[in-house]
Amino acid sequence: MTKEILIKVGQLYDVIVTDLSHDGLGIARIDGFLVFIKDALPNERVVARITNAKKNYAHAHAIDKIKLTDHRTCPPCSLFETCGGCQIQHMTYSSQLEFKKSIVIRNMQKFAKIEMPPVLDVIGMDDPWRYRNKTQVPFGLDENGEIVAGFYKSRSHEIIDMPSCLIQTQIADDIITEVKQIACEFEIMPYDEATHDGLLRHVVLRVGFKTGQIMVIFVTKTSDLPHKEELCQRLITNFPAIKSIAHNVNPKATNVIFGDETNTIYGKKYIIDSLDGLEFLISARSFYQINPVQTEILYKLVVDYADIGADDVVIDAYCGIGTITLFLARVAKSVYGVEIVPDAIFDALENARINGIDNANFEVGKSEVVIPRLIKEGIIPDVIVVDPPRKGCDIALLDAIIKARPTRVVYVSCDSATLARDIKILIEEGYQLEMIQPVDMFPQTSHVETVALMSRK
């Protein structure tokens, strides 16, 4: 009889947890069979119930903890065990930072083939709570037909009603509670993913930590938003910090939050926030780092690692709305930000304008296309900065970087596995890895941001 038949859903096992997965699950083996256990930490002995069994591995939940580790703490959130938002809230914060460093080291060893990677200790937060400036809350109905708003249960699309989230801002909690009450009063029906019925899909909030300005975005299935005027009036009366309310339409049967159409229904198209003295216009769909306290640290590291002189030319690939670009422009001769999203470049140009920065240039297009053209035009970069999405750099962009031969490459990454993959390619083409500095942008979760410095040999 094969092991996958022996390991069945519902069975209980007394196991010793030996490791932690990259997403914060305890790892144990049952007769050599790999089991990932929620709410279990290394060196703990737990009774685990199998919740899902595959051919080569299974998932389980720790239902009884026989021996605990000193790395464990009591999660302050009562919904931790069911919510999928925070994976490691049951770890002491110092242990979270050690765990995240170990993730980066392991990925460098596995994917970059570097036995002793130069990974520094993770820069943590003094207060690792209430740090998110963006809240995305799905709306739905519970089994009794009552409106719920919260986050998805771990590994599911079941919405957990959540009156408070300890990594979101308090005012975001309060606004979501108010919207839920308004939706109940006006009978604004939530969207149902299974049937594609209903209207209200998500409510998204953006909060300027420095300015206090708030944007509320309603995401609906159709262009109709019932009681729009009353809705706006109620929100701005109860929450004067709201400076913008937008309506996004997403008619597709998808779990992607935003659709293509966004209209401002109250106030301005933007809210304003600031980082290290620079002001940024933030629209409904702008990319803007979600932890502003750590973002200032992260961007200052980028500038420090870039080691830019007054005569240096810098290219910022994946520049978004120009946040990193403008940090770099304060010390460089000139900076060229490249981004494929036209709306982001429009915002970047506006951000340069309102900050009085005239040595930042922005271009719409793929970096792997724009960079070779800039070089042909005589713009030779001394430094290239990349901050790609989770999937890492396109191979064509890495080729463009290698051909551009900048003295230094500064790589900002939210996924150290794809970072390691790309670092390996750059090393093979003549660059050396100087250091990697992890920054804890996402406390209580298993995610970690990194800044890597590479120099040409």
Q: How far apart are CA 134 and CA 232, in angstroms?
A: 19
Token pair in block for residue 354: 């309102």
**Are the C-beta atoms of residues 14 and 49 closer than 8 Å to each other?**
no
> What burial class does residue 47 get, using C-beta atoms within 10 Å of its C-beta: 0-12 exposed, 13-18 middle, 19+ buried?
middle
Q: Which segments of 14-120 does DSSP mark as H helices, in order?
A: 93-111
- The size of the chain, in residues, is 457
Question: What does each C-alpha distance from 345 to 319, 331, 362 come to in angstroms?
Answer: 8, 21, 6
**Are the C-beta atoms of residues 215 and 286 closer than 8 Å to each other?**
no
Q: Which segments of 360-441 does DSSP mark as H helices, in order?
A: 367-376, 395-404, 416-428
**Are the C-beta atoms of residues 171 and 225 closer than 8 Å to each other?**
no
- Secondary structure (DSSP) of 74-95: --S-TTTTTBSS-S-TTB-HHH
Residues assigned a catalytic role? 414
The closest alpha carbon to 350, from 360, 335, 341, 340, belongs to 360
Q: How far apart are CA 193 and CA 245, in angstroms?
A: 24
Q: Is 68 helix (H, G, I), strand (E, B) or coil?
A: coil
What b/e sequence results for 63-80 when a residue is b if at least 16 CB atoms lie within 10 Å of its CB, and e otherwise?
Answer: eebeeebebbeebebebb
Token pair in block for residue 345: 């470049």
- Adjacency order of strands within the sheet including 431-439: 360-364, 334-339, 313-317, 383-386, 408-413, 449-456, 431-439
Token pair in block for residue 410: 């500064």
